[in-house]
Amino acid sequence: MNISFNVEEGNIFEYILDNIPDAITVVDTKCTTLFFNKTSEEYFNIKKEEIIGKDLRNVFPSSLLPKVIEREKAYHNIYNSPRENTYTIISAIPLYDDKGKLIGGLSRDRDITEYMKLTDVLSKTQHNLSELEKELSVTMQSESYFSKIISNNTEFIKRINLCKNISRTPMNILINGESGTGKELFARAIHHESERQGNFVAVNCSAIPEELFESELFGYDEGAFTGARKNGKPGKFEEANNGTLFLDEIGDMPVTLQPKILRILEDGYVTRIGSNKEIKINVRIVSATNKDLKEAIQDRSFRKDLYYRLNTFQVQLIPLKDRKEDVVLLANKFLQKFCMENGMNIIEIPNEIFNIFKRHSWEGNVRELKNIIQRSVLLAKESNNEKILIEFLPDYLQVIDVEEELSLDYDSSTQGIEEYLEKIEKEIIKKTLDSFNYNKKKTAEHLSMPRSNLYYKIEKYGL
């Protein structure tokens, strides 16, 4: 390759090199600069006339090209920082004529300054995120787990504080309450507040078949029965060692198993099925039930001695129907949580929905409320709505209580019965339309009237 920029073809070549985004430099065998493109001028802040015809080493002492000339060796993608706060990737190659004689060298500097700055920013951001994660972890650990249980009910708050105070004692705790009141939530809070080093292990006594109950709780050794694992399996008591074993629905525990549970609690040892080896355990028992265990004792479905062993301390949880002041608080909490999980802006729960919630009996307790809010958020997202509509609620909640909703007093001195009934009808239609966001089809269906009749009433009453 013969380098010369005085011929006509060379002018075209020079034009091309001047307009590429990389800095191009060409030298001869004495390191005299023959070519320096416009990108090089801009990047190194040196004019062509200041470097062309001069020894490159006098301008760039650390240049790679002299090494290329000296060793006749090519270098590719070498990292370099030619000036403060500037970064490049250099590739440099020797140049030969048609006879294979060395005639010079060419280097290409690709500016990666912005990439390096971005990398530095990302690195610092990653470091900051790591530090924030550490701080958050410390904060979460120092924050009371009971703070996740919220209430405005004075008696319920007393129970929260009571459980928090007894968490660090070794006492076994029996939590009594209706289904859906948050018994497992309390059990987990008690475990975390206790600072016990072992695991929290939950067992639903009503969900395990009686024939599998013993192996689930106590574990088994290899060959204990047909189908047993090769190396055996630890039971729930072993898994919860130095931690908390939560026995949910304890009232459904098989009577035949109860004496063995009592023995473990009294002795502090568990023996796997198929083994004679006793394993020392340190387990705190938190049990829960929605049954009256004293009645179960009377009908001999629950052992009296086990009851008193588990019931060192008893907590009675208040159902949601007896703390209606918590309905709005919990609904807003669940709303915020589910909106964030679904990437939505926080939507609105209108007052008419809250009025329905306040009148509802909540037989399913907090779990029922949570499920309804989750359902409503998903339906709101699907229909691009910014608030919860009555049509998003389960059918059993889509009932308008006329006695609660209407406040029309009858004045016999000024109103006839027909006029008064029309006022009631107007108010019912108006409130139903509002509840269904003026969806006339759903309003007509809810009021069990033909849609044509509804249109007539809307026009008649100016709705």
- Tens of pLDDT, residue by residue over 145-189, are 788 888 999 999 999 999 999 998 989 999 999 998 999 999 999
Q: Which secondary structure element, helix H or strand E, spans residue 94, and what is its range?
A: strand 88-96
Beta bridge partners of 71: none
Position 128 scores a pLDDT of 67
Beta bridge partners of 107: 25, 92
Beta bridge partners of 176: 289, 316
Residue 420 pLDDT class (50, 70, 90 cuts): confident
Residue 403 pLDDT class (50, 70, 90 cuts): very low
Q: Say if CB 92 and CB 99 are below 8 A apart.
A: no
pLDDT for residue 303 is more than 80? yes
Least confident window among 140-144, 257-261, 362-366: 140-144
Average pLDDT score over residue span 289-297: 91
Position 446 scores a pLDDT of 78
Q: Say if CB 53 and CB 132 are below 8 A apart.
A: no
Least confident window among 61-70, 328-337, 444-453: 444-453
Position 441 scores a pLDDT of 84
Give this prediction's pTM. 0.58
pLDDT for residue 301 is more than 80? yes
pLDDT for residue 437 is more than 80? no
Q: Which is more confidently placed, 412 or 311?
A: 311
Q: Which is more confidently placed, 19 or 260?
A: 260
Position 142 scores a pLDDT of 42
Average pLDDT score over residue span 228-248: 88
Q: Say if CB 31 and CB 60 are below 8 A apart.
A: no
Q: Which residues, other chains included, contact 308 with Cβ-Cβ below 8 Å and sequence gap of 6+?
A: none
Average pLDDT score over residue span 365-379: 92
Q: Say if CB 404 and CB 355 are below 8 A apart.
A: yes
Burial of 454 from C-beta contacts in 10 A (0-12 / 13-18 / 19+): buried
Cα dihedral value 27, 30, 31, 36, nearest 10: -30
Average pLDDT score over residue span 269-294: 90
Position 401 scores a pLDDT of 47
Position 112 scores a pLDDT of 77
What domains can be seen in the chain, in order of their start residue?
8-111 (3.30.450.20), 145-318 (3.40.50.300), 321-397 (1.10.8.60), 402-460 (1.10.10)
Average pLDDT score over residue span 304-327: 92
Average pLDDT score over residue span 271-283: 89
Q: What percent of the chain has pLDDT over 90?
A: 32
Position 246 scores a pLDDT of 95
Least confident window among 206-220, 377-391, 405-419: 405-419
Residue 3 pLDDT class (50, 70, 90 cuts): very low
